[in-house]
Structure 1
Amino acid sequence: MLLPTIICQIPFINCPVAKPLPLFHKYYQLGDLIVGGIISHIYISSDVITFKRRPHQEPIDGLVLFSATWTYLASLELLSTRDNFIPNYKCDDQNIPVAVIGGPSSLVSHTMVTILCSYKVPLLIYGYSVENNQIEGTGFQSMFPNGALQYKAILHLLKYFSWTWIGVISINEANAERFIKDVVPVFSQNGICVEFVEIFPRISFSSGLDKAMAEGAETYIAVMRSTANAVVLNGEFETIIILRMLIHFSEFADISVKTKIWIMTAEMDFTSVPFQRTWDVDFMHGAISFAIHSKQPEGFQRFLQRRNPASHEEDGFIRDFWQHAFNCLFSHSEGDEMVEGACTGEEKLEALPVSVFEMGMTGHSYSVYNAVYAVAHALQTMPFSTFSHKGSMGRRRQKLVDQELYQLHHFLRRVSFNNSCGEEIAFDQEGQLVAGFDIISWVTFANQSFHRIKVGKADPKAPPERMFTIDEDSIVWPSRFNKTRPLSVCNNVCRSGYRKTKKEGKPFCCYDCLPCPEGKISNQKDMDDCLKCPEDHYPNKDQDFCIPKYVSFLSYDEPLGMTLAIMAILFSFVTALVLGIFLKHGDTPIVKANNQKLTYTLLVSLLLSFFGACLFIGQPNKSTCLLQQTVFGVIFSVAVSCILAKTIVVILAFMATHPGSRMRNWVRKPLASSIVLSCSLIQTTICAVWLTTSPPFPDFDMHSRTEEIILKCNEGSVAMFYCVLGYMGCLAIVSFIVAFLARKLPDSFNEVKFITFSMLLFCSVWLSFIPTYLSTKGKDMVAVEVFSILASSGGLLGCIFFPKCYIIVLKPELNKREQLIRVKN
């Protein structure tokens, strides 16, 4: 809308009063409104609030508005007698300002505060966020809601849309310093990085325009070259004018213009000067702005439709506005002829483009509207005993006003009422207006008009979870972003399965994406670190979710387990067959010559070892875990002890054949049984201690295999496990050494050659078992142990007993006494 005469405020003040205020006279001066150096009186009657320019003021071109000089002049004029500019001197008791409504920028507000608050003139500020410490101890009242709520709403908006890479532009004023110092760090604390912080110069239309525009152009170029798509614009009433100028002139300066999502604070509003009426407003399409919460008073549209210069000749603004808005001129006198481009006064406001005049009530205008009523209600509550009297009471009225009107600020801060829209107007203990903000989405059209869509709100009265609401479906995004939610991030989002890693020398929002390390996942985008799957899960190939592990053990149902079980049964059958052959031919020389008891004990232990191998196959439980290693250790100790005893007996028997040898007494004694029992008892004792102190138990191995939960038997005590293996290894090595030393005895008596070869095979199997066992995991480890048991037991069976079975079954002629007593030459 056009700025020159601030006519945008006229309809909102010249509007019907919903509830008459009968305590006032038909026409009473309520206060003054200062906008950009123009003073206008506000009057109230039983049905209308009237807004009039002071009659002696000449029209002021919009290019000199918002000037500190004009505002100082206007403020001083309020302290002077009407029509006589003598500051600090008033002799007119009929034109004493009750209150002043000021705004909408910080420049105007601070200028008025400097002058008027010194004289305790009640002052209401609208359109500008005032800090709490600025309110205390002064005589002005803020009609702007608490600014902290707005900053929280901006932060909520950025986080809602995941805009973590933004730019910040502010006007070169104290408000900009406060915003950059207090608000921008809060953005960083909440994961939002600021690519740039630029300061737009405040343009003074009276001087320094070229320099200000040059500085603004440099800022605008920096903004257009940035990669951030979301830009927070912390401006004031005239910011849109400056921004439109920079965008418009950039078209002639060959500056690349990128579509940005402007996030505008509520201190801003769409304003323009006359020469901007034909300029495009496309840059506003998709912008999101905050606005002071407002409603449309009943009858407001009808009031605007009836508005024209002829019906409100007392209004000093209407003619100026009419000429600027409709681009026409009024004749100076009634006798002048109508010329081309003359104003008829019958033009319709609704015919104007929205960029020139809005038919709806904006947030700033709603604040002015409420400010007038706030003063009216405050006056009603003040104890003016002679306030509404005339005539002879005039001098007393003057005295009371001088003495008591400074108290109006006290009543203003405590006023509470419902306006004509049914909304409660009240202030908190710190003097801030208790109100919220509307979140507005801007939609522009080709005819330089626009439409504001309310898409959310920030309501301080709502519960915390409903304080900020956004309806994204109602937002119309620019076509550059394919009419979908824009991204405003430093780099592409790290997809699931990747994690962020900081780039050196860059803000924390700029990062590289690295795949998650092995064993970890990221199931969301842009995760700072990858997550470890639960112990019973493992990452999928893309590392973006966890898959449950399956339980694994050496089962009879799988080929490996089935193969080992068949081998164990087959070896058991062969061992039983050999034992049967030896039992059937127990009276033959070859069986008798090799110590029948040791032979039978060895065969039984081998048979049990083959069956014991099956304890390692199948799902482990408490019983099988207790028996696996202990049975294996004891049985193998018995088997190796039998071999050691057989070897020693052979050596002693050979030595006993010499005349006069005392070895015959040892051969006759139960030496073999003593060796077997003593060696086996030591291993049994070790196993008993193991089972007593730290027995094996069923356990789950979650970590050895990525995709498996290995169900196994935990040894309980690894030291005891290796004690069992170590003792068995010592027996095997001793047996091998003894057999190796006795390998050259005469053939007919010599079983030791077979024992030597069998023990060599046995030791080789178990020496290779240890590194293989330690290097495998899961059921493969169990399979290695089962295979070692079968291989070593099968080696003993084959090397020691198959040659004897060959003679017994296939060469019975060799199984004679004569063969056994034959002595090698």
Structure 2
Amino acid sequence: MKLLIAFFLLIVLIVFQEQISCFSLNLPASPGYYQDGDFLIGGLFSLRVTSGDITSKFGFKDTISTADIVYADLTKHYQHMLAMVFAVEKINKDPNVLFNMSLGFYLFNVNFIEMKAMESSMALLSGESPPVPNYSCRPEKTDKLVAVIGGISTGISTQISRVLSLYNVPQISYATFDQSLGTRVQLQSPYQFPTHTTALYQGIIQLLLYFTWVWVGLVVPDDMRGELFLRDITEEMTNRGLCVAFAEKVPEFPAKDTVNRGLFMKRFTLTRVIIAFGDTYSLLRFVYNIFCNIPFGNVWITTSDWDITTLPFEQNLGYTYFGGGLSFSVRMDQILGFKDFLGSVQPRKYPHDTFIQDVWSIIFECPYFVQDIDRELSQCEQNGSLSTRPLHLWDMNTSPSSYKVHAAVYAIAQALHEELSLRAERSSLDKGVPWAPLPWKLHPFLQNGQLGRNTDVNKEGSPIEFDIFNYQSLQSGMKAQVKVGEFVFESHSVQHFSLNYKHITWGEHHSQTPVSVCSQSCPLGFRKTPVEGKPFCCFDCLPCPDGEIANETDMDECIKCPEDQYPNKEKNQCLPKIMTFLSHEDTLGAVLVSVAICLSALSAMILGLFIHYRNTPIVRANNRNLSYLLLVSLMLCFFCSLIFIGQPSTVTCVLRQMIFGVAFSIAVSAVLAKTFIVVVAFKAIKPGSTLRMWMVTRLSNAIVCCGSIIQVCICAVWLGTYPPFPDVDMQSEFGQIMFLCNEGSTLAFYCVLGYLGFLASLSLLVAFLARRLPDSFNEAKTITFSMLVFCSVWISFVPAYLSSKGKTMVAVEILSILASSAGLLGCIFLPKCYVILLRSGGLSRQEFFK
């Protein structure tokens, strides 16, 4: 009996000691917003950005309570709490959800302080604030706790999970999805809403491509979430030809500022478009850095998590720095009745709400004064409506975070419904099953719902829709976000992007669409060349080389024109080349034709003159048959030049060289024969000479035949091996296609010329040796001079021919033919014509041989 009494006293002492501990450690602190129910959901939200008290320790009597310095009041975050209150009210009004049982909540404001989040988590477990670790001071509260919604950031979610996971209490985070969150918590990781990061950066890239913004800066929070976004979007941007100008990792506020001011100014001055990925709080330090500098007129691409219309951005300054920006927001179904609910919220309607008075004073801009660092609130308008407040103070539209909180409450209610349904089935068999909530039993139901741990839910077949908003000032002067487009992501291969360009305004700094490039676009006719040490979006522009064009801007390589086309002066278009050849309509061709005909006519006249005076001593003394043959061959030489004029064909290409070679060989052979006849004629008059027998016609015929037959053989070999053929030259003359005759065998062509040079040299040598013979009827001097002219013409022909192109080359050959033929005609026959026509009483044959 004594042992039983002692045991009872010990139990009473332990319980009494626990209550003493709870009350002795209960220091004054900011109370939460509590509403009783059969089941209790905890809520941890962030309403302000404060300095925090990171040095104090909770749960001890010597704790020093210091007032936090408030940097920013995020009044719009109060909507997150109201979303939870609204969801609980709707669930409690529906008796079918929890089987006539009610749902309550216990809400705390942890600001953005991780230690305060851990303290509030322990307060949910102990039932008091500040908490007492491992004590349940208010069992009527702690025994009803079934789940907790909270964690607007990864850091806060992590600290909450480290406490709640010890007791296996489900936690749903409404922060942006972070796949690293599961690795930070050793036990039970929080549930997260599915992310759409892949679809988000695909939409951002489509927007960049739409405006051809290829030089873009990135701003992300300095955490794993920002690191993963930076990795993914950088890789995708590179694949799509976009460049990252810089990547700024922003430390959380009020952490130590690590931004290099000089580099910061330089980056934002040179980069026109900047992508900011993060929420209002994680980029708050970055915003303050922006406000401390002169506006650069940057265009900002953000998400709905970063609300530049909120109070910390100071309405007017926010639109000075960020006006004209574009924001991506996941399209959500409107929460039915939530906007009406927000319009009906008033302090008198919710007297137990410990946060509404403070938020109300800021939203309605009630006067207040500061005393001992604590804000003292004056009396505010209690009957005001949130729907009347400006956008920078309050937004009646449902924010993404509020939507997540509302969905989280319903997910917990659905899990409770299913768990209670199972209990109801078992209770029919076992009436002793308790109805007290067991939080860990909700995990299977939550896992089977729309929530999951560390999963990126971009499922095939479930399109993700984004609305694109533009920050702009309405005509009424109210700042707002206007929908200007949408993006639907089904898969990497199926995407739909649309933008109403006319509805976009670019803020105060731009009257038209800004340009964001590292280097200005290379114009038509120029190609890009990379700059060493810089990304591929930075380049220099070089003009296209000859024969190539660039018909688009920013071409990496110039395009070579087809052979039958040529680039214009701007080198941005290929034009068809002009087909040209030495024609009769050309001035040069007409002149050459006229000269050739005139010389041919002159040759014919001289031939007629020689035939008419064939019995005169001067004609008879110079072997009139050879003179006739020479004149006829010269006529052929003049006429053969006409074959060189006109569009080349297979026949003309063959004939022009063959006739030219044979006709000239006959002419030069005839000159050589005449030279030998002169020498033989003067040597044969000496007494006792044995050469008189050679003064016969057969000698001259033999020289002419032998000289011409050899040339005929050379031409025959030329025709039989590699004959001339019509060809085109597309490169020699700019913008022209030259029709010409390809000589075929160059060796054969120069053999023909070389053989003519050999005959001419032989004639020159013989004539030179006979220069001292008597002058009367001696052709040696005229032949010598004619051969000098002939050799000079053809010696100068070779370099002129090789250095000329196109029809100039043809003209050089024609001029050489005409000049050499005219030289023979003029030097040999014009003196004789002078004698025949102007000198009377020509010498007799007897006088010739004296």
TM-score (norm 2): 0.79
Which range is displaced more, 400-409 or 593-602? 400-409
Q: Is the 8 A contact 1:123 1:141 kept in 2?
A: yes
Q: Is the 8 A contact 2:76 2:394 kept in 1?
A: no
1:538-687 equivalences under 5 Å are 538-668=566-696, 670-687=698-715
In structure 2, what residue type is equivalent to 1:441? Answer: N
Kindly tell me: are residues 377 and 236 of structure 1, through their superposed partners in 2, closer, same or farther at Cα, counting changes over 3 Å?
A: same
Kindly tell me: are residues 682 and 237 of structure 1, through their superposed partners in 2, closer, same or farther at Cα, counting changes over 3 Å?
A: same
Kindly tell me: are residues 608 and 246 of structure 1, through their superposed partners in 2, closer, same or farther at Cα, counting changes over 3 Å?
A: same
Partners of 1:222 and 1:394 lie apart in 2 by: 72
The alpha carbon displacement at 1:117 in A equals: 5.3
Identity in percent: 38
Matched, 1:776 2:804: yes
Is the partner of 2:583 in helix, strand or coil? coil
The alpha carbon displacement at 1:411 in A equals: 0.8
Q: Structure 2: where are the runs of 5+ without partners? A: 1-46, 48-72, 369-375
Kindly tell me: are residues 535 and 356 of structure 1, through their superposed partners in 2, closer, same or farther at Cα, counting changes over 3 Å?
A: same
Kindly tell me: are residues 396 and 270 of structure 1, through their superposed partners in 2, closer, same or farther at Cα, counting changes over 3 Å?
A: farther
Partners of 2:744 and 2:733 lie apart in 1 by: 21
Partners of 1:87 and 1:626 lie apart in 2 by: 114
Structure 2 equivalent of residue 420 of structure 1: none
Structure 1 equivalent of residue 249 of structure 2: 199
Partners of 1:18 and 1:597 lie apart in 2 by: 133
Is the partner of 2:800 in helix, strand or coil? helix
Kindly tell me: are residues 299 and 409 of structure 1, through their superposed partners in 2, closer, same or farther at Cα, counting changes over 3 Å?
A: closer
Q: Is the 8 A contact 1:53 1:317 kept in 2?
A: no
Matched, 1:439 2:472: no
Q: Is the 8 A contact 2:309 2:315 kept in 1?
A: no
Partners of 1:28 and 1:790 lie apart in 2 by: 122
The alpha carbon displacement at 1:113 in A equals: 4.4
In structure 1, what residue type is equivalent to 2:466? Answer: F
Kindly tell me: are residues 775 and 285 of structure 1, through their superposed partners in 2, closer, same or farther at Cα, counting changes over 3 Å?
A: same
Is the partner of 2:481 in helix, strand or coil? strand
Structure 2 equivalent of residue 479 of structure 1: 508
The alpha carbon displacement at 1:722 in A equals: 2.2
Is the partner of 1:54 in helix, strand or coil? strand
Structure 2 equivalent of residue 71 of structure 1: 117
Q: Is the 8 A contact 2:83 2:405 kept in 1?
A: yes
In structure 1, what residue type is equivalent to 2:507? Answer: P
Q: Is the 8 A contact 2:671 2:763 kept in 1?
A: yes
1:509-524 equivalences under 5 Å are 509-524=537-552
Structure 2 equivalent of residue 760 of structure 1: 788
Alpha-carbon displacement from aligned partner over 1:384-432 (angstroms, at most 9, x marks no partner)? 52269989979736699567422124312599xxxxxxxxxx9848899
Alpha-carbon displacement from aligned partner over 1:502-528 (angstroms, at most 9, x marks no partner)? 445544434444444444333333334
Kindly tell me: are residues 428 and 239 of structure 1, through their superposed partners in 2, closer, same or farther at Cα, counting changes over 3 Å?
A: closer
Kindly tell me: are residues 737 and 620 of structure 1, through their superposed partners in 2, closer, same or farther at Cα, counting changes over 3 Å?
A: same
Partners of 1:489 and 1:769 lie apart in 2 by: 59
Is the partner of 1:410 in helix, strand or coil? helix
Partners of 2:750 and 2:408 lie apart in 1 by: 92
Alpha-carbon displacement from aligned partner over 1:233-281 (angstroms, at most 9, x marks no partner)? 2322414643443344x2xxxx433221122245433474579577653
Kindly tell me: are residues 398 and 741 of structure 1, through their superposed partners in 2, closer, same or farther at Cα, counting changes over 3 Å?
A: farther
Partners of 1:88 and 1:802 lie apart in 2 by: 140
Matched, 1:54 2:102: no
Matched, 1:750 2:778: yes
Q: Is the 8 A contact 1:355 1:448 kept in 2?
A: no
Matched, 1:157 2:199: no
Structure 2 equivalent of residue 146 of structure 1: 196
The alpha carbon displacement at 1:353 in A equals: 0.8
The alpha carbon displacement at 1:53 in A equals: 5.1
Among candidates 406, 423, 448, match of residue 386 of structure 1: 423
Structure 2 equivalent of residue 130 of structure 1: 178
The alpha carbon displacement at 1:484 in A equals: 0.8
In structure 2, what residue type is equivalent to 1:678? Answer: C
Which range is displaced more, 120-129 or 571-580? 120-129
Kindly tell me: are residues 396 and 806 of structure 1, through their superposed partners in 2, closer, same or farther at Cα, counting changes over 3 Å?
A: farther
Q: Is the 8 A contact 2:74 2:311 kept in 1?
A: yes
In structure 2, what residue type is equivalent to 1:264? Answer: T
Q: Is the 8 A contact 1:519 1:539 kept in 2?
A: yes
Is the partner of 1:692 in helix, strand or coil? helix
TM-score (norm 1): 0.82
Among candidates 439, 442, 447, match of residue 410 of structure 1: 447
Structure 2 equivalent of residue 497 of structure 1: 525
The alpha carbon displacement at 1:622 in A equals: 2.3
The alpha carbon displacement at 1:762 in A equals: 1.0
Kindly tell me: are residues 579 and 277 of structure 1, through their superposed partners in 2, closer, same or farther at Cα, counting changes over 3 Å?
A: closer
Structure 2 equivalent of residue 418 of structure 1: none
Partners of 1:397 and 1:604 lie apart in 2 by: 137
The alpha carbon displacement at 1:298 in A equals: 5.0
The alpha carbon displacement at 1:144 in A equals: 4.3
Partners of 2:177 and 2:722 lie apart in 1 by: 75
Is the partner of 2:537 in helix, strand or coil? coil
Structure 1 equivalent of residue 271 of structure 2: 228
Structure 2 equivalent of residue 334 of structure 1: none
In structure 2, what residue type is equivalent to 1:631? Answer: I
Alpha-carbon displacement from aligned partner over 1:174-208 (angstroms, at most 9, x marks no partner)? 2333344454355455544444333322113xxx6
Q: Is the 8 A contact 1:3 1:271 kept in 2?
A: no
Q: Is the 8 A contact 1:494 1:526 kept in 2?
A: yes
Partners of 2:139 and 2:431 lie apart in 1 by: 12
Partners of 2:190 and 2:146 lie apart in 1 by: 13
Number of aligned residue pairs: 764
Among candidates 79, 83, 86, match of residue 8 of structure 1: 79
In structure 2, what residue type is equivalent to 1:196? Answer: F
In structure 2, what residue type is equivalent to 1:222? Answer: M
Which range is displaced more, 109-118 or 597-606? 109-118
Structure 2 equivalent of residue 39 of structure 1: none
Partners of 1:153 and 1:143 lie apart in 2 by: 20
Report the aligned-residue RMSD: 4.0
Partners of 2:367 and 2:430 lie apart in 1 by: 46
Among candidates 282, 294, 310, match of residue 320 of structure 2: 282
Kindly tell me: are residues 280 and 507 of structure 1, through their superposed partners in 2, closer, same or farther at Cα, counting changes over 3 Å?
A: closer
Is the partner of 2:74 in helix, strand or coil? coil
Kindly tell me: are residues 446 and 429 of structure 1, through their superposed partners in 2, closer, same or farther at Cα, counting changes over 3 Å?
A: closer
Is the partner of 1:625 in helix, strand or coil? helix
Q: Is the 8 A contact 1:198 1:219 kept in 2?
A: no
Partners of 2:847 and 2:734 lie apart in 1 by: 63
Alpha-carbon displacement from aligned partner over 1:544-584 (angstroms, at most 9, x marks no partner)? 33333212211211211111111111111111222222233
Q: Structure 1: where are the runs of 5+ without partners? A: 30-42, 44-51, 331-338, 416-425
1:169-318 equivalences under 5 Å are 169-184=219-234, 186-188=236-238, 190-204=240-254, 211-212=256-257, 215=258, 218=261, 221-222=264-265, 226-239=269-282, 241-248=284-291, 250=292, 255-265=293-303, 267-270=305-308, 272=310, 276=314, 280-312=318-350, 318=356
Alpha-carbon displacement from aligned partner over 1:347-379 (angstroms, at most 9, x marks no partner)? 122211101111222333344444455556667
Matched, 1:107 2:155: yes
Q: Is the 8 A contact 2:727 2:739 kept in 1?
A: yes
In structure 2, what residue type is equivalent to 1:110? Answer: T
Matched, 1:461 2:481: no
Q: Is the 8 A contact 1:387 1:397 kept in 2?
A: no
Alpha-carbon displacement from aligned partner over 1:698-757 (angstroms, at most 9, x marks no partner)? 222111122222122222233332222222222222222222222222222421211111
Is the partner of 1:464 in helix, strand or coil? coil
The alpha carbon displacement at 1:145 in A equals: 3.0
Among candidates 436, 445, 451, match of residue 480 of structure 2: 451
Alpha-carbon displacement from aligned partner over 1:215-238 (angstroms, at most 9, x marks no partner)? 458389536763111122232241
Is the partner of 1:451 in helix, strand or coil? strand
Kindly tell me: are residues 264 and 540 of structure 1, through their superposed partners in 2, closer, same or farther at Cα, counting changes over 3 Å?
A: same
Structure 2 equivalent of residue 346 of structure 1: 383
Q: Is the 8 A contact 1:170 1:199 kept in 2?
A: yes
Alpha-carbon displacement from aligned partner over 1:633-673 (angstroms, at most 9, x marks no partner)? 22222222221222223222332333333323333362322
Q: Is the 8 A contact 1:168 1:196 kept in 2?
A: yes
In structure 2, what residue type is equivalent to 1:65? Answer: N
